[in-house]
Amino acid sequence: MLHGKTALITGGTSGIGLATAKLLHDNGARIAISGREPDALDRARRIIGDDVVTFQTDVRSREALRKMASDVRQAFGTLDIFFANAGVAYVTPLATTDEAQYDGLMNTNVKSVFFSIQAIEPVMREGGSIIVNTAWLNQVGVPGRAILSASKAAVRSFARTLSAELLGRRIRVNAVSPGLIETPILRGVGQSEHPGQTEAEFRDYLAGVSKLIPIGRLGRADEIAAAVLFLASDASSYMLGSELVVDGGFAEL
């Protein structure tokens, strides 16, 4: 499906990013991933394949993003697919959230997406595909998620505005919008609102949340990866500025 194509995925060492890198690789693409931790990049390489190109990159840094783009050009020449996937998620209650928490979330989820696309766009071939990762939260109101939801709404808007801006190069920008997906970011690894949560407590939480989802369960990372594969491929050639919602009906029904 993607034979002869090249793809870069930020946040490609776990969860949706890792599942997408593996699926695109299995469908013939040459893959590069970025991540912040060398050990995580090594683990991802073992899962995806020894031919994956890895970049240790802090997506919050414009300098690091420019270096990543230069490294992609050196590795691949041009890029066909870019999945701006890196992000964080944590609660930000109105009464207690401070400026550092606000900046931390918005810098990773919004600023890094914009400037990663700015850095990568000159490397992309005409007719390429950019996919951004938004979320079901851009459509609904959830207490304690004001900043996270705003960040995802901004990313959703990027799919529209940047598609319009890149029309001259025929680069399509679309968004994938996951619902509640069982990944490390849902568990809150390194950013948990419940740092002392046991495995049993986490499973109880998942069981309770699953009852709220029309399909009756949380999603899997590979299900989001399949949606990204579609948006990355020529099968979605008539789509731009779109949002592909994959949420088990959570925000739709």
Q: Is 212 helix (H, G, I), strand (E, B) or coil?
A: coil
Report pLDDT for 197. 58
Report pLDDT for 17. 98
pLDDT average per 10 residues of sequence, the chain (253 residues): 97 97 98 98 98 98 98 98 96 95 97 98 98 92 92 98 98 97 70 56 80 93 98 98 96 86
The domain made up of 6-179+220-246 has a fold known as: Rossmann fold (3.40.50)
Report pLDDT for 187. 65
| Domain residue ranges in the chain | 6-179+220-246
CA distances from 168 to 124, 125, 127, 130, 162 (A): 13, 12, 10, 15, 11
Closest Cα partner for 125 from 171, 182, 85, 172?
Answer: 171
Assigned token pair, 48:
């995806």
Report pLDDT for 216. 95
CA distances from 120 to 9, 18, 43, 109, 165 (A): 11, 20, 25, 17, 15
Q: What is the pTM of this model?
A: 0.93
Contacts of 101 by beta carbon, 8 Å cutoff, 6+ apart: 90, 92, 147
**Structure-token match 């009852």, residue found:** 211
